[in-house]
Amino acid sequence: EKRLQTIKEFTEFGSGFKIAMRDLEIRGAGNLLGPEQHGHIESVGYEMYCKLLEESIIELKGEVPSHRDIEVTIDLKINAYINDEYISSEIQKIEMYKRIASVQDEEDVVDIRDELLDRYGDIPNSVENLIQIAYIKALAGELNFVSISEKGDSIIFQIKDEKSISPDSIGRLAAKYKRRILFNAGANPYILYKITANNREKLLENIKIILHDIKSFVVK
């Protein structure tokens, strides 16, 4: 059977995604997420798609899902996806989602932008947003945030625990951002950033600046 042969071909560590790609060729992109999805990632959202893709890889390899640490979740009212007009091939699109999801630093961002420009042309806003969100997610995880979400006119940076950010960092943030930043301590500490009409247009950039500020305030 083709799927069993594929698993035999890709047995080395880290080959799960190769198996999933071959499985896509055998079964079709839609089947990976269920026939009702028809392979369209935007139907389920970026975060959910990555989760479903990983679960499919684990199932295909016959492994038992292991307990995972809490990951950073991003919930912002921003279009972030790869549309069919930009990348028409489902397999190439999934490969690029995987590449974007692996972003860890600004060098990765530059590399992905260069690759997209070279292969597909000018980058649409929705794809650029996707890249920026992937970078924000990596940076937030490095700083022990568990989620960044948009609620009303505010962005909530949920912190893992009180020990994850120093009082000095909070004080320096408050001094820089004045009333735009509020800090809530307790069992579920968070930083609240007020959105205005002006900074809403550059929301992702402002979130990155805040995270970079926090990183620079951390005492080594």
Instruction: For residues 133-148, give the mean pLDDT.
Output: 92
pLDDT number for residue 60 = 65
Question: Residue 58's pLDDT is what?
Answer: 65
Domain ranges of the chain: 1-68, 71-220
Given this model, what pLDDT does residue 54 score? 64
Residue 68's pLDDT band, with cuts at 50, 70 and 90, is: very low
pLDDT the model gives residue 111: 96
Q: Kindly state which CATH superfamily the domain 71-220 is placed in.
A: Transcription-repair-coupling factor, D7 domain (3.90.1150.50)
Confidence of residue 168 (pLDDT cuts 50, 70, 90): confident
Separation between Cα atoms, residue 125 and residue 197, nearest integer Å: 19
Helix H, strand E, coil C: the string for 52-68 is HHHHHHHHHCCCCCCCC
| pLDDT, mean of residues 32-41 | 40
pLDDT band at 13 (very low <50, low <70, confident <90, very high): very low
Nearest to 78 by CA among 125, 146, 34: 125
Mean pLDDT, rounded, of the chain: 76
Q: What is the model's pLDDT at position 63? A: 64
10 pLDDT more than 80: no
